[in-house]
Amino acid sequence: MSDKILKVNGISKTYGKFKAVDNASFELEKGKIYGFIGQNGAGKTTIIRMLAGVSIPDTGTIEIFGDSTPKGLSEGRKRIGAIVENPALYMKISAYDNIKIQQMLYGVKNPGLADELLELVGLQAWGKKKVKDFSLGMRQRLGIAMALVGNPELLILDEPVNGLDPMGIVEIRQLLIKLNQERNITILISSHILSELYQLATDYIVINKGQIIEKLTLAQLEEKCEKSVVIQVEDMDRAKDVVVNVLKSEKYQILEHNIIKIFDYSERVRDVALAMMEAKVIVTYLNVTGESLEQYFVHLIGGASNV
């Protein structure tokens, strides 16, 4: 059986003359946490609305759990929990009653489920309190509890930490990791807080101006952002001999134009320079490069003016 639980194939969505999503394609594999990254207006929420069935693509197809037929999509969405934009909560009643109403809507008759979910999201002590008295972080956790009523295999969250204080962000992160690891729930989470996604996601999907421009794993992202000493030399053979036999580097890369990147000497630049000098290798360029997560994505989408 395929690990692909959702496939998006060339979907597009236009509102008037504005193309919100342009021929987007990606796949989700079971058991992973996907960070869906893009600046405001990039198309994240539009895609999430189409995945949840709130909106319909103009072109392209969505396949959920191996089925793209209308009936299959309807059945597949019963196995998905989603929060699109903001949790739909009844403010004047208790957290417990909010979940009970959600159970009625889903036809879930488990009498102990509300208490179980409140405990899971850390709200058991506030179950009888009215939601209007909750903090923003508590409302987000309640929204996630309500999204879990149908025991979903895929959880889709649109900016769940937006507006939260640092403690609220940590609580949501810990909850999502717990759901992924203990319940094997696949998660797609959109956010523009890159530092938070870096502590959470196993994979990344990057969208810009309605187009998916990058799909990569955490390991691939770390490799792209890794610091290295970059040197350009006149004699590549001699320089490579220094890297291998003198510096004994275990991680280096030979590039075009006589450039070498040495990844395990980023904090020992002086050692590289001295080794090359003693071997009489003429170095025409030497620098330490490496990007933060934010810098990498800024460059990826074409500069700070697009953020």
**Ranges for all domains in the chain classified under CATH 3.40.50.300:** 4-222
Name the CATH architecture for the domain at 227-289: 2-Layer Sandwich (3.30)
Give the per-residue pLDDT at 305: 40
The fold adopted by the segment(s) 4-222 is Rossmann fold (3.40.50)
Specify burial of residue 20 (Cβ count, 10 A radius: 0-12, 13-18, 19+).
buried
What confidence tier does 306 reach under pLDDT thresholds 50, 70, 90? Answer: very low
Least-confidence region, from 82-91, 215-224, 289-298: 289-298
The angle, 0 to 180 degrees and rounded to 10, between the axes of the packed helices 113-120 and 136-147 is 130
CA 95 to chain centre: 28
* pLDDT one-digit tens code per residue, 178-222: 999 999 999 999 987 787 888 899 999 999 999 999 999 988 888
Give the per-residue pLDDT at 226: 80
Among 34, 146, 156, residue whose Cα is nearest residue 138: 146
* pLDDT one-digit tens code per residue, 19-63: 999 999 999 999 999 999 988 889 999 999 999 999 999 999 999
**Ranges for all domains in the chain classified under CATH 3.30.70.100:** 227-289
pTM of the model: 0.81
* pLDDT one-digit tens code per residue, 154-184: 999 998 888 888 888 888 899 999 999 999 9
What confidence tier does 298 reach under pLDDT thresholds 50, 70, 90? Answer: confident
Give the per-residue pLDDT at 2: 62
Cα 3 to Cα 5: distance, rounded to the nearest angstrom: 6
User: Would you say residue 304 has pLDDT above 50?
Assistant: no
Give the per-residue pLDDT at 252: 92
User: Would you say residue 249 has pLDDT above 70?
Assistant: yes
Least-confidence region, from 7-16, 27-36, 108-117, 187-196: 187-196
Cα 43 to Cα 70: distance, rounded to the nearest angstrom: 23
Average pLDDT over residues 100-129: 94
User: Would you say residue 1 has pLDDT above 50?
Assistant: no
Annotate 161-184 with b (16+ C-beta within 10 A) or e (fewer): beebeeebbebbbebbeebbeeee
